[in-house]
Amino acid sequence: MRMGHRLSLDIDKYFADRTRPVLALGGTYPPLHHVRPHSHRRSQLFCPLTGIATASTSQGAWAVPAMRGLWIPAGVRHELRMQGVVEMQSLYFEPSVTANMPSRCRVVAISPLMRNLIHEAVALPVRYAREGRSGALMQLIQFEIARLPELPLSLPFPTDKALARLCRRFLLHPTAADNIDDWATALHASRRTFTRLFRRETGLSFVAWRQQACILKALPLLASGASVTHTALELGYENPAAFTTLFKRVLGAPPREYMLDRRVPTHALASLRDENKGAM
Protein backbone atom coordinates (compact mmCIF):
# COMPACT_ATOMS: atom_id res chain seq x y z
CA MET A 1 0.00 0.00 0.00
CA ARG A 2 1.26 3.47 -0.82
CA MET A 3 0.63 6.78 0.87
CA GLY A 4 -1.46 8.02 -2.00
CA HIS A 5 -4.08 5.37 -1.21
CA ARG A 6 -4.89 6.31 2.34
CA LEU A 7 -7.83 8.71 2.05
CA SER A 8 -10.22 5.78 2.42
CA LEU A 9 -8.47 4.55 5.56
CA ASP A 10 -8.27 5.70 9.16
CA ILE A 11 -5.14 7.81 8.82
CA ASP A 12 -4.95 8.60 12.53
CA LYS A 13 -3.35 5.22 13.22
CA TYR A 14 -0.50 6.22 10.91
CA PHE A 15 -0.04 9.46 12.80
CA ALA A 16 0.84 7.37 15.84
CA ASP A 17 4.14 6.57 14.12
CA ARG A 18 6.41 9.18 15.69
CA THR A 19 9.55 7.72 14.12
CA ARG A 20 8.83 9.30 10.73
CA PRO A 21 8.73 13.10 11.01
CA VAL A 22 6.83 13.59 7.75
CA LEU A 23 3.99 11.52 6.29
CA ALA A 24 2.28 12.10 2.94
CA LEU A 25 -0.95 11.11 1.27
CA GLY A 26 -2.93 11.93 -1.84
CA GLY A 27 -6.51 11.41 -2.93
CA THR A 28 -9.62 12.86 -4.50
CA TYR A 29 -12.66 14.60 -3.03
CA PRO A 30 -15.91 14.87 -5.04
CA PRO A 31 -17.55 18.25 -5.74
CA LEU A 32 -19.15 19.95 -2.71
CA HIS A 33 -17.58 17.44 -0.32
CA HIS A 34 -17.55 18.67 3.27
CA VAL A 35 -14.82 17.57 5.65
CA ARG A 36 -16.41 18.15 9.04
CA PRO A 37 -14.62 19.99 11.86
CA HIS A 38 -11.67 17.98 13.16
CA SER A 39 -8.05 18.35 14.21
CA HIS A 40 -4.82 16.39 13.87
CA ARG A 41 -1.99 15.62 16.24
CA ARG A 42 0.36 16.51 13.39
CA SER A 43 0.58 19.79 11.48
CA GLN A 44 -0.70 19.58 7.89
CA LEU A 45 0.11 21.15 4.53
CA PHE A 46 -2.98 20.61 2.35
CA CYS A 47 -2.34 21.11 -1.38
CA PRO A 48 -5.14 20.90 -3.99
CA LEU A 49 -4.02 19.99 -7.50
CA THR A 50 -7.44 20.68 -9.03
CA GLY A 51 -10.55 22.57 -7.96
CA ILE A 52 -10.50 24.85 -4.95
CA ALA A 53 -10.98 24.28 -1.22
CA THR A 54 -12.26 26.68 1.40
CA ALA A 55 -11.32 26.24 5.03
CA SER A 56 -12.60 27.75 8.25
CA THR A 57 -11.76 27.75 11.94
CA SER A 58 -13.03 29.79 14.86
CA GLN A 59 -10.40 32.39 13.95
CA GLY A 60 -11.00 32.87 10.24
CA ALA A 61 -11.58 31.59 6.72
CA TRP A 62 -9.22 30.77 3.86
CA ALA A 63 -9.49 30.02 0.13
CA VAL A 64 -7.02 27.49 -1.27
CA PRO A 65 -6.84 27.46 -5.09
CA ALA A 66 -5.14 24.64 -6.96
CA MET A 67 -1.35 24.63 -6.76
CA ARG A 68 -1.35 26.57 -3.49
CA GLY A 69 -1.19 25.13 0.01
CA LEU A 70 -2.96 25.56 3.34
CA TRP A 71 -0.81 25.34 6.45
CA ILE A 72 -2.82 23.92 9.39
CA PRO A 73 -0.97 23.82 12.73
CA ALA A 74 -1.25 20.75 14.94
CA GLY A 75 -4.34 20.72 17.14
CA VAL A 76 -6.23 23.45 15.24
CA ARG A 77 -9.85 22.44 14.71
CA HIS A 78 -10.82 23.10 11.09
CA GLU A 79 -13.27 22.14 8.37
CA LEU A 80 -12.94 22.04 4.59
CA ARG A 81 -15.38 22.42 1.70
CA MET A 82 -14.54 21.43 -1.85
CA GLN A 83 -15.52 23.34 -4.99
CA GLY A 84 -15.29 21.08 -8.01
CA VAL A 85 -13.33 17.84 -8.00
CA VAL A 86 -10.38 18.38 -5.65
CA GLU A 87 -7.43 16.12 -6.28
CA MET A 88 -5.08 16.77 -3.40
CA GLN A 89 -1.79 15.90 -1.77
CA SER A 90 -1.04 16.50 1.90
CA LEU A 91 2.00 16.41 4.14
CA TYR A 92 1.72 15.75 7.88
CA PHE A 93 4.51 16.89 10.19
CA GLU A 94 5.43 15.86 13.71
CA PRO A 95 4.97 19.01 15.85
CA SER A 96 8.60 18.85 16.97
CA VAL A 97 9.93 19.47 13.44
CA THR A 98 7.69 22.48 12.76
CA ALA A 99 8.00 24.21 16.12
CA ASN A 100 9.09 27.44 14.43
CA MET A 101 6.19 27.51 11.97
CA PRO A 102 3.25 29.91 12.50
CA SER A 103 0.66 28.84 15.06
CA ARG A 104 -2.22 30.00 12.84
CA CYS A 105 -3.53 28.75 9.52
CA ARG A 106 -2.29 30.46 6.37
CA VAL A 107 -2.31 29.95 2.60
CA VAL A 108 1.14 29.65 1.04
CA ALA A 109 2.61 29.59 -2.46
CA ILE A 110 4.01 26.19 -3.44
CA SER A 111 7.39 26.57 -5.13
CA PRO A 112 8.29 24.33 -8.08
CA LEU A 113 10.82 22.54 -5.85
CA MET A 114 8.29 21.93 -3.09
CA ARG A 115 5.71 20.79 -5.64
CA ASN A 116 8.08 18.09 -6.87
CA LEU A 117 9.09 17.12 -3.34
CA ILE A 118 5.45 16.60 -2.38
CA HIS A 119 4.88 14.53 -5.51
CA GLU A 120 7.84 12.30 -4.63
CA ALA A 121 6.79 12.03 -0.97
CA VAL A 122 3.28 10.86 -1.85
CA ALA A 123 4.80 8.13 -4.03
CA LEU A 124 6.76 6.64 -1.10
CA PRO A 125 5.55 3.60 0.84
CA VAL A 126 3.74 4.33 4.10
CA ARG A 127 6.65 2.99 6.14
CA TYR A 128 9.39 4.49 4.04
CA ALA A 129 13.05 3.95 4.87
CA ARG A 130 14.22 6.65 7.25
CA GLU A 131 17.72 6.60 5.76
CA GLY A 132 18.99 7.04 2.21
CA ARG A 133 17.01 8.84 -0.47
CA SER A 134 13.62 8.63 1.29
CA GLY A 135 14.97 10.08 4.52
CA ALA A 136 16.85 12.82 2.68
CA LEU A 137 13.71 13.72 0.72
CA MET A 138 11.65 14.13 3.89
CA GLN A 139 14.44 16.11 5.54
CA LEU A 140 14.59 18.53 2.61
CA ILE A 141 10.82 19.01 2.87
CA GLN A 142 11.30 20.10 6.49
CA PHE A 143 13.71 22.82 5.34
CA GLU A 144 11.55 23.97 2.44
CA ILE A 145 8.25 24.22 4.35
CA ALA A 146 9.56 27.28 6.23
CA ARG A 147 10.47 29.03 2.96
CA LEU A 148 6.98 29.07 1.45
CA PRO A 149 5.64 32.66 1.28
CA GLU A 150 2.20 33.50 2.64
CA LEU A 151 -0.53 34.57 0.20
CA PRO A 152 -3.30 37.14 0.95
CA LEU A 153 -6.11 34.58 0.95
CA SER A 154 -7.21 34.74 4.57
CA LEU A 155 -10.10 36.44 6.32
CA PRO A 156 -9.85 36.97 10.10
CA PHE A 157 -12.94 36.53 12.26
CA PRO A 158 -13.68 38.77 15.25
CA THR A 159 -14.11 37.37 18.75
CA ASP A 160 -16.89 39.84 19.65
CA LYS A 161 -20.01 37.67 19.38
CA ALA A 162 -22.35 40.26 17.89
CA LEU A 163 -19.81 41.37 15.31
CA ALA A 164 -18.89 37.76 14.53
CA ARG A 165 -22.53 37.00 13.75
CA LEU A 166 -22.63 39.88 11.27
CA CYS A 167 -19.40 38.75 9.64
CA ARG A 168 -20.48 35.14 9.25
CA ARG A 169 -23.85 36.20 7.85
CA PHE A 170 -22.10 38.50 5.37
CA LEU A 171 -19.91 35.62 4.20
CA LEU A 172 -22.98 33.72 3.04
CA HIS A 173 -23.60 36.43 0.42
CA PRO A 174 -20.67 38.87 0.34
CA THR A 175 -21.22 42.05 -1.62
CA ALA A 176 -19.22 45.20 -2.25
CA ALA A 177 -22.45 47.16 -1.81
CA ASP A 178 -22.57 46.73 1.98
CA ASN A 179 -21.63 49.90 3.80
CA ILE A 180 -20.16 50.63 7.18
CA ASP A 181 -23.10 52.70 8.41
CA ASP A 182 -25.54 49.79 8.06
CA TRP A 183 -23.22 47.53 10.05
CA ALA A 184 -22.76 50.18 12.75
CA THR A 185 -26.53 50.60 13.01
CA ALA A 186 -26.99 46.84 13.33
CA LEU A 187 -24.70 46.91 16.38
CA HIS A 188 -26.34 50.05 17.79
CA ALA A 189 -22.98 51.81 17.59
CA SER A 190 -21.76 55.07 16.12
CA ARG A 191 -19.68 54.91 12.97
CA ARG A 192 -16.58 55.89 14.93
CA THR A 193 -17.13 53.26 17.64
CA PHE A 194 -17.82 50.58 15.05
CA THR A 195 -14.69 51.49 13.08
CA ARG A 196 -12.53 51.14 16.19
CA LEU A 197 -14.19 47.86 17.19
CA PHE A 198 -13.83 46.33 13.75
CA ARG A 199 -10.15 47.15 13.41
CA ARG A 200 -9.40 46.01 16.95
CA GLU A 201 -11.18 42.69 16.40
CA THR A 202 -9.92 41.83 12.90
CA GLY A 203 -6.79 43.90 12.36
CA LEU A 204 -8.38 45.28 9.17
CA SER A 205 -10.55 48.22 8.25
CA PHE A 206 -14.15 47.39 7.36
CA VAL A 207 -13.53 48.16 3.67
CA ALA A 208 -10.39 46.00 3.51
CA TRP A 209 -12.18 43.11 5.25
CA ARG A 210 -15.18 43.41 2.92
CA GLN A 211 -12.91 43.40 -0.13
CA GLN A 212 -11.05 40.36 1.16
CA ALA A 213 -14.34 38.52 1.73
CA CYS A 214 -15.34 39.26 -1.86
CA ILE A 215 -12.02 37.90 -3.15
CA LEU A 216 -12.49 34.65 -1.21
CA LYS A 217 -15.99 34.30 -2.67
CA ALA A 218 -14.79 35.14 -6.18
CA LEU A 219 -12.23 32.35 -6.38
CA PRO A 220 -14.71 29.44 -6.21
CA LEU A 221 -16.97 31.23 -8.71
CA LEU A 222 -14.13 31.71 -11.17
CA ALA A 223 -12.91 28.14 -10.63
CA SER A 224 -16.39 26.85 -11.48
CA GLY A 225 -16.19 28.57 -14.87
CA ALA A 226 -18.08 31.79 -14.13
CA SER A 227 -17.01 34.73 -16.27
CA VAL A 228 -15.30 37.76 -14.77
CA THR A 229 -18.38 39.86 -15.56
CA HIS A 230 -20.77 37.41 -13.88
CA THR A 231 -18.50 37.16 -10.83
CA ALA A 232 -18.21 40.93 -10.52
CA LEU A 233 -21.98 41.46 -10.72
CA GLU A 234 -22.60 38.58 -8.29
CA LEU A 235 -20.39 40.35 -5.77
CA GLY A 236 -22.14 43.70 -6.14
CA TYR A 237 -19.62 45.51 -8.32
CA GLU A 238 -21.13 47.92 -10.83
CA ASN A 239 -18.75 46.83 -13.57
CA PRO A 240 -16.07 44.15 -14.09
CA ALA A 241 -13.30 46.75 -14.33
CA ALA A 242 -13.65 47.72 -10.66
CA PHE A 243 -13.59 44.06 -9.61
CA THR A 244 -10.59 43.30 -11.83
CA THR A 245 -8.68 46.24 -10.36
CA LEU A 246 -9.29 44.98 -6.82
CA PHE A 247 -8.43 41.39 -7.75
CA LYS A 248 -5.15 42.43 -9.36
CA ARG A 249 -4.21 44.68 -6.46
CA VAL A 250 -4.76 41.90 -3.90
CA LEU A 251 -3.49 38.86 -5.81
CA GLY A 252 -1.02 40.44 -8.23
CA ALA A 253 -2.72 39.40 -11.47
CA PRO A 254 -6.10 39.92 -13.17
CA PRO A 255 -8.66 37.11 -12.69
CA ARG A 256 -8.15 35.26 -15.98
CA GLU A 257 -4.37 35.30 -15.69
CA TYR A 258 -4.47 34.23 -12.04
CA MET A 259 -6.74 31.28 -12.74
CA LEU A 260 -4.59 30.14 -15.68
CA ASP A 261 -1.58 30.07 -13.36
CA ARG A 262 -3.27 27.22 -11.45
CA ARG A 263 -2.35 24.66 -14.08
CA VAL A 264 -1.27 21.29 -12.70
CA PRO A 265 1.95 19.57 -13.76
CA THR A 266 0.87 16.64 -15.93
CA HIS A 267 3.12 14.13 -14.20
CA ALA A 268 1.73 14.94 -10.75
CA LEU A 269 -1.91 14.65 -11.79
CA ALA A 270 -1.40 11.50 -13.86
CA SER A 271 0.49 9.82 -11.02
CA LEU A 272 -2.20 10.68 -8.47
CA ARG A 273 -4.96 9.34 -10.71
CA ASP A 274 -3.03 6.11 -11.28
CA GLU A 275 -2.65 5.67 -7.52
CA ASN A 276 -6.35 6.27 -6.94
CA LYS A 277 -7.26 3.66 -9.54
CA GLY A 278 -4.96 1.20 -7.85
CA ALA A 279 -6.68 1.77 -4.53
CA MET A 280 -10.14 0.89 -5.84
What are residue 164's phi and psi, to 5 degrees? -60, -40
Burial 67-87 (b: 16+ CB within 10 A, else e): bbbbbbbbebebebbbbbebb
Of residues 194, 170, 174, the one with CA closest to residue 184: 194
Output DSSP code: residue 203: S
CATH of the domain spanning 156-260, picked from 3.30.365.10, 1.10.10.60, 3.40.50.300, 1.20.1560.10: 1.10.10.60
Sheet strands side by side (includes 34-38)? 34-38, 78-83, 52-56, 60-65, 154-156
Radius of gyration of the chain (CA): 20
pLDDT in tens, 136-170: 999 999 999 999 999 999 999 999 999 999 999 99
Model pLDDT, residue 260: 78
Total residue length of the chain: 280
Output DSSP code: residue 27: E
What are residue 49's phi and psi, to 5 degrees? -95, -30
Residue 278 has pLDDT above 50, yes or no: no
> Residue 196: enclosing H or E segment and its boundaries?
helix 191-202
Residue 121 has pLDDT above 80, yes or no: yes
Confidence of residue 262 (pLDDT cuts 50, 70, 90): low
- Per-domain residue ranges of the chain: 3-152+264-279, 156-260
Confidence of residue 232 (pLDDT cuts 50, 70, 90): very high
Q: For residue 42, with 0-12 CB atoms within 10 Å meaning exposed, 13-18 middle and 19 or more buried, which class applies? A: buried
Model pLDDT, residue 264: 52
Task: Please report, rounded to a whole number, the percentage of residues in the chain having pLDDT higher than 90.
Answer: 79
Quick check: 269 and 119 in contact, CB under 8 A?
A: no
We find that the CATH architecture of domain 3-152+264-279 is: Sandwich (2.60)
Give Dmax (Cα) for the chain. 65
Model pLDDT, residue 205: 97
Count CA atoms within 13 Å of residue 22 on its CB side.
26
Indicate the pTM of the whole model: 0.86
Count CA atoms within 13 Å of residue 105 on its CB side.
28
Residue 265 has pLDDT above 90, yes or no: no
Confidence of residue 230 (pLDDT cuts 50, 70, 90): very high
Average pLDDT across the chain, whole number: 89
Model pLDDT, residue 279: 41
Say whether 156-260 and 3-152+264-279 share the same fold: no
Please report the DSSP string for 129-175 in residue order.
-SSHHHHHHHHHHHHHHTTPPB-S-EEEPPSSHHHHHHHHHHHHS--
Q: Which residue has the higher pLDDT, 7 or 61?
A: 61
